């Protein structure tokens, strides 16, 4: 198994390859390892309340909607709601359904001066499988990482 230094280095190299402005991009299993080993690491779930209630939650995650349901309108209070819950030097691991909104959240918080932002690639549910279902092909749930229903 990779040690945390190697995981973070790999994530930082991925971010460079992807051309993103935040610190790193982690696979779900890597994000979980970071959460276990880095005391200042926090997972930030940016999915809307309906997704959290109906699809599932990550125990201990900070939950702040990037987009609100219904209508998926931008939450203008997102940066302030999150910054009120974390230290400026916290290692923030952003997750959403598939990794798209969390990419935006990591970018946004970087603009607010948070320098340790990581996106969790694949997200909570991941890509659709061959019959159109999520949560089985890749992502947090498919990796067998801790989550609870509703």
Which of 37-41, 50-54, 105-109, 136-140 shows the lowest per-residue confidence on average (mean pLDDT)? 136-140
Q: Phi/psi zone of residue 89: left (φ > 0), alpha (ψ -120 to 50 degrees), beta?
A: alpha
CATH topology of domain 4-120: Oxidized Rhodanese; domain 1 (3.40.250)
- The Cβ of residue 138 has, within 10 Å, a number of other Cβ atoms equal to 20
Which pLDDT score is estimated for 132? 85
Which of 11-20, 60-69, 76-85, 135-144 shows the lowest per-residue confidence on average (mean pLDDT)? 135-144
Each residue's pLDDT tens digit, 21-33: 999 999 999 999 9
* Domain range list for the chain: 4-120
| Mean pLDDT (whole number) for 67-71 | 90
Each residue's pLDDT tens digit, 115-146: 999 999 999 999 988 888 888 889 999 999 99
Query: What is the pTM assigned to this prediction?
Result: 0.94
Pairwise CA distance, residues 84 & 107, whole Å? 18
């Amino acid at each position: 198994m990779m040690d945390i230094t190697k995981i973070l280095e790999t994530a930082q190299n991925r971010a460079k390859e992807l051309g993103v402005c935040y610190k790193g991009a982690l696979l779900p299993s890597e994000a979980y390892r970071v959460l276990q080993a880095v005391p200042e690491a926090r997972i930030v779930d940016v999915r809307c309340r309906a997704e959290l209630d109906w699809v599932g939650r990550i125990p201990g995650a900070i939950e702040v909607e990037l987009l609100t349901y219904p209508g998926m309108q931008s939450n203008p209070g997102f940066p302030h709601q999150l910054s009120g819950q974390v230290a400026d030097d916290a290692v923030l691991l952003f997750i959403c359904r598939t990794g798209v909104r969390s990419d935006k959240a990591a970018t946004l918080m970087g603009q607010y001066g948070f320098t340790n932002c990581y996106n969790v690639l694949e997200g909570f549910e991941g890509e659709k499988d061959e019959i159109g279902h999520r949560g089985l092909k890749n992502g947090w749930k498919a990796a067998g990482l801790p989550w609870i229903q509703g």
